[in-house]
Structure 1
Amino acid sequence: MLDIVKNDPWLEPFSRSIEDRNNYFLKKEKELTQNGKIRLSDFATGYLYFGLHKTTDGWVFREWAPNATEIFLIGTFNNWQRMEPYRLRSIEKGVWEVKIPPEHIRHQDLYKLLVSWEGGSGERIPAWCRRVVQDAQTHIFSAQVWEPATPYTFKITNFKPDTSPLLIYECHVGMATAEEKVGTYNEFRENVLPRIKNSGYNAIQLMAIQEHPYYGSFGYHVSNFFAPTSRFGTPDELRQLIDAAHEMGIAVIMDIVHSHVVKNELEGIARFDGSYDLYFPSNPNRRNHPAWDSLCFDYGKNEVLHFLLSNCKYWMEEYRFDGFRFDGVTSMLYYSHGLEESFTRYDDYYNNRQDLDAICYLTLANKLIHEVNPTAITIAEEVSGMPGLGLDIKSGGYGFDYRMAMNIPDFWIKTIKERKDEEWHPSAIWWETTNRRADEKTISYVESHDQALVGDKTIIFRLIDADMYWFMSKLKSSSFRVDRGMALHKMIRLVTATTINGGYLNFMGNEFGHPEWIDFPREGNNWSHKYARRQWQLADDKNLKYHYLGDFDKAMINLIKSVPDFQTTTITKIWDKDDDNVLAYMRERLLFVFNFHPEKSFNDYGMLVPEGEYSIVLNTDNFRFGGFGLNNDTVHHFTHHDPLYAKDGKGWIKIYLPARSAFVLKKI
């Protein structure tokens, strides 16, 4: 019996399904590794074979296009014309190849393929190309040769991520500038990385790295899987950014999209060789994603596995990414893509509607990634709660290191929208922030980029709304909404970040209460960048209140980091009482106390804790975090002896709990 079933007896009725899934993976791994003669990493080297490569005696280009009848390489080097020296020849199993003298192609030349098939032809950007650029006037995309005379050399070659715990700053390079434009890799490296380092985060999660034709897709409609987007700069500038992050001790995780593909034929891999099912299922109902207007991969094809697994290895080897956050995992797991599914009981996970090929791919990807780099980080963005995603493969899991705790942001939004302040019950807060599978690590978060997209609101904007425009200045009188919103913003983040069992994530700028939503330039907003940027100056201006929230976030992160392997320490609930809206729990020597009540402050509020002396080390209500300073943080608190509990080493601590505040005490 696999450990996944031993760990959770409720899975026993589905043990056959779980074992079949695991055996399916083992059989496929055996096939791809030639019965163990090679490693999975040796299989995933397509990027070294396909595409355009400079050799000792010229250039060689290869592409997989089994339905093609004729292919020419066209570009600026031959005036975009069909010319015999650039004709590809079919060599084997649908692979085409051409060899070109060295002087014919130069660095930064533009190129495409002219592909013909029975009944048609079209220009295509090579599936394995490493750089794609868009013409500023025509807006047409083309592949570009990237072979600089002096390629970037990494300074840091043996970086190991700090995962004790993993503290992720989710970023979008293009919108990381305060200017109303698309930001660059260099600007991010120079201006934003130091902020992240100063804030205490030890990892960044970069969105929208794979090239995508529509900027407003947030990078989730990928066209060119091996090309870092040229909107932000050159491939070497991305390498320099990652190298700089490593120098600062910051891991770099890539938000990778292997769950679907943009439909564009001229920019992507759709109908690449005239066929509809080169990388995709032959059945149109399975090929087309009904919710995303995109195409789904056929994970049952070995050529598709070769493409995607090679893609994982490519980003790790060529750019030194430290791992991946896999987007849209729920969509991959089920033929229904998880749409209109409830997932309220275990039967829903094992209803014969699982896509075993997609599940096999995800397991292979995790095996490969950790084979290439044993310290790599993999995270599943998955909403259904499928058991085993964050469990190692040997135990019967899928091999992800972490899964996103997607219930938590949903809970906070629902609470803010639907609950009166006095109904913010600690029992519900405790349940949502600690409800997870004991054998799987999660990434907890209050809000990611998802919660801030146009049509929605950030947490701070839900709490404060239009008062942000008028009452965030220290030079003017405050408002009830601002005071309430800032207090709850700190408390929500503190309880979410300190109940983790794996890691914590924050989307850039949200730590200081970045106002409003995210809206990328589009026809509906006159192609404006006003809401696709980050107003860092708000956090830097000491006359505004935003810095209070940023200062608190930094203090909170540093507190978490002060406890070795904070995420693995035992978390013990000390007290929760819904009538009082009070919650308390301990980790190691830290006591976390929350009073969510909107009006009631409590004098000498008592609870049983380990006997001893306690000092306040973090207080949401402190003046330096924009609070009212109702507690004296220099006062030490001593437990009161009680013979009934003395044998357990416990005594009563009595504390003043101001309304809508939280603080952390440390046992001395």
Structure 2
Amino acid sequence: MKKKTLNILKNDPWLEPYAGAIVGRHNDAVNKEIELCGPDGKLDTFANAHNYFGIHRTADGWVFREWAPNATAITLIGDFSRWKVMKKYALKPKKNGVWELKFKPDDIHHGDFYKMIVSWEGGSGERIPAYATRVVQDENTHLFSAQVWSPAPYKWKVRRFRPDTRPLLIYECHIGMAQEKEGIGSYTEFRDLVLPRIAADGYNAIQIMAIQEHPYYGSFGYHVSSFYAPSSRFGTPEELKSLIDRAHELGIAVIMDIVHSHAVKNEAEGLGRLDGSYNQYFYGDSRREHPAWDSLCFDYGKNDVINFLLSNCKYWLQEFRFDGFRFDGVTSMLYYNHGLGQAFGSYDDYYNGGQDANAITYLTLANKLIHEINPSAITIAEEMSGMPGIAVPFKDGGIGFDYRMAMGIPDYWIKTLKERKDEDWKPTSIFWELTNRRADEKTISYVESHDQALVGDKTVIFRLIDKDMYWHMMKDDDNMAVARGMALHKMIRLVTASTINGGYLNFMGNEFGHPEWIDFPREGNGWSYKYARRQWDLVDREDLKYMFLNAFDNDMINIISGVYNFQSLPVVKLWEKDDDQVLAYMRGDLVFVFNFSPVKAFTGYGILAPAGEYEVVLSTDSPKYGGYGNIDENVHHLTQHDPVYAPVGREWLRLYLPPRSAQVLRMKKS
């Protein structure tokens, strides 16, 4: 493709000096697709490794295949062999490093546990098959084994589902820590106990973490060992399917947090040295180990690796009917230095030769495949460097994600809360940070995700209230620290959610100000689950203030979701005045007004808005949200004519603005 046909260059003239690199990465993907699929082939036809490798029923029994080019021998051991090496379970070598074994119908059975014994020049070891679809950890030995999994097909209740993305409102969650108990929650418990809460809260998508099997629970699912196996610590694959099916019944899309940026180093459980070599799935040189994550980096230049990962995307989409993916660690994939220690202060930093062309090609093909399989699928890039084109369609010269995470927003709020006094908060800065984005890329805005809730960091509510949360969250306790924290918690969320240009994300529990941090069981805490759970009883109790924050979040989400295509409406600034700490803007017929001042109240404060009559539809100061009720929500506001601004259709909207408050007004239709 020539540069003159790429919309990414038309939309941003500043990219013109780098047109060669942008066209080059586009053509790399085109050429790689032809290499993999042929001139007339499709990625959907190519990405079928999961249907060939692994264990499968056949018309006359079973067949098992593994790709292990460095192996000299492979034998299956398991329940069927009494865990002894038997000649009848030895695989035979085929072409291109493929090994195969065919079974009779009664040689193995659904539920049997098994492993591979892989031999190579100079060694051997037990291995979990790369394409295993169920992997279980023994409670006594703590060792992992694959399990033959071939039950009756799951009968889906919802045959077709189309996500609602106008706007996309994501509830980020973790199955294991979603329960009240001090232990690991299950898919079924999440389906029955948590999904109803999410539906009631008004979110139309969930983003589930830690689905792919991982040896260490405390890794939050980011050190994956078995890429095709849903984590068995939460239940069976059918129970996961039932969860997804129920979510679809409730109108909730299910996005999977997929990890293709690296893999766990473990050899017995993972892909580390599956066939004895160091470079089967990963780089064999100094690039093999990630310098910051203690993990292994895929070699995206190998077609077999691309096939493994692309087929993985297809598998989760078709077998489990996930509605899309949030790709973790995209920044790490894009650059040879993984983006570590780099400021990314100019466009030069994105096109200086330090970009991993193979990884960029893989991500481009992954997005193309996903949307080829399901045009309504959702793809999100967790990308912090700001590389142009991440969330631009492939046909326009981009990498093809639908959204990118607005990772600068939570960093901004943390920095503001840590370094600025309340009286120094500047509306101009807040508005710029929340709306400064590429016009041709949609983002997912958020105040905080799971990252900000981990031990070593603090949630927004904990930064605001800290230890007073332990003693002063009763409804009859009028504590100033709590009052300040709750007021700003609501305002920060409202200003972030109401300025989205794609979607909004919340991590489970943060909508009601879940106290404390997330700390998974580990040696340092005595393997305790005390902080690896969600205390739903706090928001359910009528005597605590958490329910106020939850009620506000519900109504905020309801207002945003109640406006069709809210995320696409222009954000029109009406007023900003740093010395007053007042900000106002309009989207459609909604006006959002904020007074960030901790002490100043304004009577009859004038904001220039389109002429008309306005009614209050949301007030952070309402008693039902734990406020003081200083805003009279029953009053309708008529704008006041001013001949100076009449030619542009603006008049004065005069409001009472209490300190640390925000209100949303809707223009009434005449």
Q: TM-score, normalised by structure 2?
A: 0.99
Q: How does 1:145-160 map to 2 (within 5 A)?
A: 145-148=148-151, 150-160=152-162
| Whole-Å separation in 1 of the counterparts to 2:379 and 2:75 | 39
Give 1:44's aligned amino acid. A
Distance in 2 (CA, whole Å) between partners of 1:155 and 1:591 is: 41
> C-alpha displacement at 1:570, in angstroms?
1.2
Q: Offset of 1:164 from its aligned partner? A: 0.5
1:281 deviates by 1.1
In structure 1, C-alpha distance between the alignment counterparts of 2:266 and 2:78, rounded to whole Å: 20
Name the residue aligned to 1:106.
Answer: 109
Offset at 1:66?
0.5
CA distance in 1 between counterparts of 2:417 and 2:92 reads 62
Please tell me whether residue 92 in structure 1 is matched to residue 91 in structure 2.
no
1:582: which partner in 2?
582
Is 1:229 the counterpart of 2:242? The answer is no
Shift of 1:650: 1.6
Q: Secondary structure at the match of 1:286?
A: coil
Q: Specify the alignment match of 2:420 in structure 1.
A: 419
Structure 1 distance, partners of 2:123, 2:88, is: 22
Deviation at 1:648, TM superposition (A): 2.1
Q: Distance in 2 between matches of 1:478 and 1:101?
A: 73
Q: Does 1:571 align with 2:571?
A: yes
Amino acid of the residue matched to residue 376 of structure 1? A
1:186-265 alignment runs, 5 A limit: 186-265=188-267
Letter in 1 for 2:292: A
**Structure-1 separation of matches of 2:394 and 2:283:** 27
Q: Does 1:618 align with 2:618?
A: yes
Distance in structure 1 (CA, Å) of the matches to 2:337 and 2:310: 24
Give CA-to-partner distance per residue, 1:118-154, whole Å, 9 cap, x none. 0100000000000000000110100001112x33211
Aligned to 2:67: 64
- Post-superposition CA distance 1:482-526 (Å, at most 9, x none): 000000000000000000000000000000000000000000000
Match of 2:24 among 4, 14, 20: 20
In the alignment, what sits opposite 2:464?
A: 463
- Alpha-carbon distance in structure 1 between the residues aligned to 2:157 and 2:38: 36
- The equivalent residue for 1:538 is 538
Q: 1:612 is matched by which residue type in structure 2? A: G
Which residues in structure 2 correspond to 1:288-367 (within 5 Å)?
288-367=289-368
CA deviation string 1:96-134 (max 9, x = no partner): 000011111111100000000001000000000000000
Deviation digits for residues 321-360 of structure 1 (CA, Å, limit 9, x no counterpart): 0000000000000000000000011101111000000000
- Distance in 1 of aligned mates of 2:228 and 2:462: 37
Amino acid at match of 1:360: T
> Is residue 440 of structure 2 the alignment partner of residue 439 of structure 1?
yes
2:382 match: 381
Q: CA deviation at 1:647?
A: 2.5
Provide the C-alpha distance between the structure 1 equivalents of 2:660 and 2:604, rounded to a whole number of angstroms: 16
Distance (whole Å) between structure 1 residues aligned to residue 108 and residue 118 of structure 2? 20
* DSSP 3-state at the match of 2:462: helix
Q: Amino acid of the residue matched to residue 137 of structure 2?
A: Q
Q: Provide the residue aligned with 2:187 in structure 1.
A: 185
Matches within 5 A, 1:480-629: 480-629=480-629
Query: What is the DSSP-based 3-state SS (H/G/I as helix, E as strand, rest coil) of the residue aligned with 2:176?
Result: helix
| Equivalent AA in structure 1 for residue 170 of structure 2 | I
CA distance in 2, matches of 1:563, 1:254: 26
Counterpart in 1 of 2:144? 141
Letter in 2 for 1:123: E
Deviation readout 1:207-232 (Å, 9 max, x if unpaired): 00000000000000000000000010
Distance in 1 between the 2:619 and 2:486 partners? 13
State the alpha-carbon separation in 1 of the partners of residues 284 and 22 from structure 2. Answer: 27
Q: Name segments (4+ residues, structure 1) moved above 4 Å.
A: none
Structure 2 regions of 5+ residues with no counterpart? none
Name the aligned partner's letter for residue 334 of structure 1.
Y
Q: 1:30 maps to what in 2?
A: 34
Residue 372 of structure 2 is matched in structure 1 by 371
CA distance in 2, matches of 1:244, 1:69: 46
Residue equivalent to 1:406:
407
Question: 2:403 and 2:238 mapped to 1: Cα distance?
Answer: 30
Indicate the RMSD between aligned Cα atoms, in angstroms. Answer: 0.6
Correspondence 1:281-292 to 2 at 5 A = 281-283=283-285, 285-292=286-293
User: Residue 644 of structure 1: CA displacement?
Assistant: 1.9
Alpha-carbon distance in structure 1 between the residues aligned to 2:159 and 2:64: 29
Take 2:254 and 2:159, find their aligned partners in 1: how far apart are those partners? Answer: 14
CA distance in 1, matches of 2:315, 2:132: 12
1:312 & 1:367 partners in 2: Cα distance?
A: 11
Alpha-carbon distance in 2 for matches of 1:121, 1:246: 46
One-letter amino acid of the structure 2 residue matched with residue 328 of structure 1: G
1:414, CA displacement in angstroms?
A: 0.2
- Return the TM-score normalized by structure 1: 0.99
Deviations 1:399-423 (A, max 9, x none): 0000000000000000000001011
Q: Which amino acid aligns with 2:652?
A: W
Q: Distance in 1 between matches of 2:216 and 2:479?
A: 41
Shift of residue 643, structure 1, vs aligned partner = 1.7
Residues 554-606 of structure 1: CA deviation (Å, up to 9, x unaligned): 00000001111000011100000110110000001100000000000111100
Match of 1:278 among 265, 280, 305: 280
Deviation string for 1:194-217 (max 9, x for gaps)?
A: 000000000000000000000000
**Cα offset for 1:371?**
0.3
Q: Does 2:82 correspond to 1:76? A: no
CA apart distance, 1:527: 0.4
Q: Distance in 2 between matches of 1:649 and 1:278?
A: 66
Amino acid at match of 1:633: E
Following superposition, the deviation at residue 551 of structure 1 comes to: 0.3
Deviation track 1:18-75 (CA, whole Å, cap 9, x = no partner) reads 1111111111011111112x21001101110000001121110000000000000110
Q: Aligned residues, how many?
A: 664
What do residues 297-321 of structure 1 show as CA deviations (whole Å, max 9, x unaligned)?
0000000000000000000010000
Matched, 1:117 2:120: yes
**2: CA distance, partners of 1:98 / 1:633:** 73
CA distance, structure 2, for counterparts of residue 363 and residue 487 of structure 1: 43
Following the alignment from structure 1 to structure 2, what is the Cα–Cα distance between the partners of residues 143 and 557? Answer: 42
Stretches of structure 1 lacking an aligned partner (at least 5 in a row): none
- Counterpart CA distance in 2 for 1:408 and 1:28 is 35
In structure 1, what is the equivalent of residue 632 of structure 2?
632
Distance in 1, matches of 2:539 and 2:348, equals 48
Secondary structure at 1:440 match in 2: coil
Give the partner amino acid of 1:533: R
Deviation at 1:642, TM superposition (A): 1.2
> Secondary structure at the residue paired with 1:289?
coil
- Counterparts of 1:204 and 1:463 in 2: how far apart (Å)? 27
Task: Give the aligned residue type for 2:23.
Answer: E
Hey, what's the Cα distance between the residues in 2 that align with 1:94 and 1:33? Answer: 20
SS state at 1:102 partner? coil
Q: CA deviation at 1:191?
A: 0.2
Q: What is the DSSP-based 3-state SS (H/G/I as helix, E as strand, rest coil) of the residue aligned with 1:52?
A: strand
Distance 2:651 2:80 in 1: 81
Q: SS at 1:175's partner residue?
A: coil
- Opposite residue 24 of structure 1, the aligned amino acid is D
CA distance, structure 2, for counterparts of residue 484 and residue 400 of structure 1? 39
**How far apart are 1:478 and its partner, in Å?**
2.2
